[in-house]
């Protein structure tokens, strides 16, 4: 993870430094770099535009699913979904809506729960 | 031989233009990764929870209730270990947690005005918070490029980020454990493939605190490559606000790089700054206890401090024959090669050599340790670095 950006940028700086030292006309070098950079980022730009709302929609849908699990015993879920639903309920409870988490943990909890101290 | 005529230089404003173009390249790739990868999974919701807990508190009884509930569930022990790991990690991303909470408070009046549900509120808070966090990281990178005051640094960062942006659109494999990749050679092949196609989340353009840490780590190396050694160390220590664990790993890496290649850097001021940073990081670190890593960390610190003490004694005239022999035969040639390679070449060569030397340890560890234990995450992180 750390080595990828550091290595690629480091090698690019080394290459540009070497070309700067060995080419008479540097403006062509700089212009070429700008053109290469624009071309290289073009596919990412296209995908950024065509999927402009995908991230927000996906996250919103997933969080909406957790809304449906609030305040009642949790069904059988995989570990990560159960964790996400519990984190979501805890955040909502700490944000001011009481008695959401403990009812999700099963019948051993009093319902309604006694007021917190 | 006829000398070359004086070469025309570019106007000063061109440098700012190139840095602005670099920022645009970053933002484009960031937008693409955000749209492809942003989701409301456990890690993302947990990041929101860390912000709420930081300012509101009162989560302890709820955590205790969940900890009592989890062992009775299928995969209960594993679930409990994951829960404990996350709870001990809650202070790891101080700045992103603060920014996400601040974003949520800024958005609250607007979403309340539209009678929106909590899911929409959390989604928008997270989105704004991680974007703010990325903007902070990008500002650090921009400042570092301008501090370098070098055409090669400006154009090199532009070109490097553009190349990584081009690599980011290549089709990726489903993420695997190193254990699942097959034998050790297949694991190394998988890691090398991962170098080119990281996938959205570990990418420098990702939306997680780790990705923003990588942007700032690049700024640290840019400062170092332009002889701002102290600036690099101070920035690394400040990065513990962004990603505590990764900042600790980076500080360790920088100290080892400089001990090998340029020990003359460690004057009293640098040693004091590094020691202060290390103490603050160790003081705040809560993950070592959860992972059971304290014995290994203490051993590592003792080794590094012993090497530092020997080097200090050597510098102040105390002659240690065995150290001189080691210095002349092993470190001397490495330093001569490092001098020839320059700051960039030396840092890259030594960092890759260290990665290759420590890789077998991580490959053995992931095969020996029970995959359900959280320590496996630590070994994976070291591998992935």
How do residues B148-205 score in pLDDT, each as one tens digit? 888 889 999 999 999 999 999 998 877 777 767 777 788 888 888 888 888 887 899 9
**Positive or negative: CA dihedral B363, B369, B372, B378:** negative
**Which member of B57, B66, B126 has the closest CB to residue A105?**
B66
Name the band, by pLDDT with cuts 50, 70 and 90, for residue B363.
confident
The one-character DSSP state at B239 is: G
All residues of chain A having their beta carbon less than 8 Å from the beta carbon of residue B164 are 4-5, 8
Collapsing DSSP to helix, strand or coil, A69 comes out as coil
Q: What is the pLDDT of residue B373?
A: 54
- Return the half-sphere exposure (C-beta side, CA atoms, 13 A cut-off) of residue A110: 5
Nearest CA in chain B to A79: B79
Residue B312, pLDDT > 90, answer no
pLDDT in tens, B364-377: 877 776 555 544 44
Cα distances (Å, whole numbers) of residue A22 to A15, B14, B158, B342, B378: 11, 21, 21, 18, 45
The one-character DSSP state at A75 is: -
> How far from chain centre, in Å, is Cα B1?
49
Q: What is the pLDDT of residue A23?
A: 79
B40, A66: Cβ pair inside 8 Å?
yes
Asked if residue B66 has a cis previous peptide bond (ω within 30° of 0), the answer is no
Mutual angle of helices B60-69 and B76-88, in 10-degree steps: 160
Q: How far apart are CA B225 and CA B242, in angstroms?
A: 22
End-to-end CA distance of chain B: 49
Q: Is B151 on the interface with A (CB under 8 A)?
A: yes
Q: Look up the pTM and report it.
A: 0.88
Q: Which of residues 184-203 of B touch A (CB under 8 A)?
A: 195-196, 198, 202
Nearest CA in chain B to A19: B152
Q: What is the pLDDT of residue B383?
A: 42
Residues 6+ apart with CB under 8 A from B365: B376, B379
Q: What is the pLDDT of residue A46?
A: 94
B117, A64: Cβ pair inside 8 Å?
yes
Q: What is the ipTM of this complex?
A: 0.87
Interface test with B, best of A18, A23, A44, A101 (most B CBs within 10 A): A44
Residues 6+ apart with CB under 8 A from B146: B15, B16, B19
pLDDT in tens, B80-106: 989 988 888 888 899 999 999 999 999
Count CB-CB contacts under 10 A for residue B85: 17
Q: How far apart are CA B92 and CA B97, in angstroms?
A: 9
B118, A47: Cβ pair inside 8 Å?
no
Chains A & B: contacts with CB separation below 8 Å: 260
**Which member of B38, B158, B168 has the closest CB to residue A37?**
B158
Mean pLDDT of chain B: 86
Interface test with B, best of A57, A74, A90 (most B CBs within 10 A): A90
Tell me if A21 sits within 8 A of B236, measured CB to CB.
no
Name the band, by pLDDT with cuts 50, 70 and 90, for residue B75.
confident
How far B261 CA sits from the closest chain A CA (Å)? 17
Of A87, A105, A4, nearest to B71 (Cα)? A105
């Amino acid at each position: 993870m750390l080595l990828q950006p550091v290595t690629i940028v480091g090698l690019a700086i080394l290459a540009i430094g070497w070309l700067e030292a060995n080419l008479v006309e540097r403006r062509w070098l700089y212009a070429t770099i700008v053109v290469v950079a624009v071309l290289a980022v073009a596919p990412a730009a296209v995908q950024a535009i065509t999927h402009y709302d995908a991230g927000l929609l996906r996250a919103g849908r997933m969080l909406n699913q957790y809304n449906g699990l609030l305040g009642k015993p949790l069904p059988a879920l995989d570990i990560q979904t159960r964790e996400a639903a519990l984190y979501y309920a805890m955040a909502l409870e700490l944000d001011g809506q009481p008695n959401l988490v403990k009812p999700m943990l099963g019948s051993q909890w009093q319902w309604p729960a006694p007021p917190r101290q | 031989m006829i000398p070359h005529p004086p070469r025309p230089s570019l106007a000063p404003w061109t440098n700012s233009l190139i840095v602005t173009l670099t920022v645009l390249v970053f933002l484009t790739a960031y937008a693409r990764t955000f749209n492809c990868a942003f989701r409301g999974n456990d890690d993302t919701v947990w990041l929101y929870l860390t912000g709420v807990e930081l300012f509101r508190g009162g989560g302890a009884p709820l955590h205790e209730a969940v900890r009592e509930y989890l062992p009775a569930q299928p995969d209960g022990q594993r679930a409990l270990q994951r829960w404990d790991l996350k709870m001990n990690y809650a202070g790891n991303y101080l700045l992103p947690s603060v920014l996400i909470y601040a974003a949520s408070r800024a958005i609250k009046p607007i979403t309340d005005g539209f009678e929106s549900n909590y899911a929409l509120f959390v989604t928008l808070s997270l989105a704004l918070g991680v974007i703010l966090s990325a903007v902070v990281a990008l500002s650090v990178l921009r400042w570092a490029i301008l501090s370098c005051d070098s055409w090669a640094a400006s154009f090199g960062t532009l070109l490097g980020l553009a190349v990584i942006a081009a690599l980011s659109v290549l089709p990726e494999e489903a993420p695997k454990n190193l254990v699942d990749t097959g034998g050790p050679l297949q694991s190394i092949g998988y890691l090398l493939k991962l170098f080119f196609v990281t996938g959205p989340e570990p990418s420098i353009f990702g939306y997680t605190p780790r990705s923003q840490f990588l942007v700032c780590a690049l700024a640290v190396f840019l400062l170092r490559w332009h002889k701002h050694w102290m600036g690099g160390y101070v920035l690394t220590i400040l990065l513990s606000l962004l990603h505590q664990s990764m900042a600790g790993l980076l500080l360790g890496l920088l100290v080892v790089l400089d001990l090998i290649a340029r020990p003359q850097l460690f004057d009293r001021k640098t040693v004091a700054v590094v020691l202060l940073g290390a103490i603050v990081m160790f003081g705040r670190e809560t993950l070592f206890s959860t992972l059971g890593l304290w014995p290994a960390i203490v051993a590592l610190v003792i080794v590094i401090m012993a090497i530092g003490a020997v080097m200090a004694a050597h510098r102040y005239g105390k002659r240690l024959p065995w150290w001189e022999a080691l210095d002349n035969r092993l470190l001397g040639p490495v330093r001569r090669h490092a001098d020839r390679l320059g700051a960039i070449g030396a840092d890259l060569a030594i960092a890759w050599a260290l990665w290759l030397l420590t890789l077998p340890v991580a490959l053995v560890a992931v095969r020996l340790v029970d995959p359900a234990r959280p320590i496996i995450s630590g070994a994976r992180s070291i591998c992935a670095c």
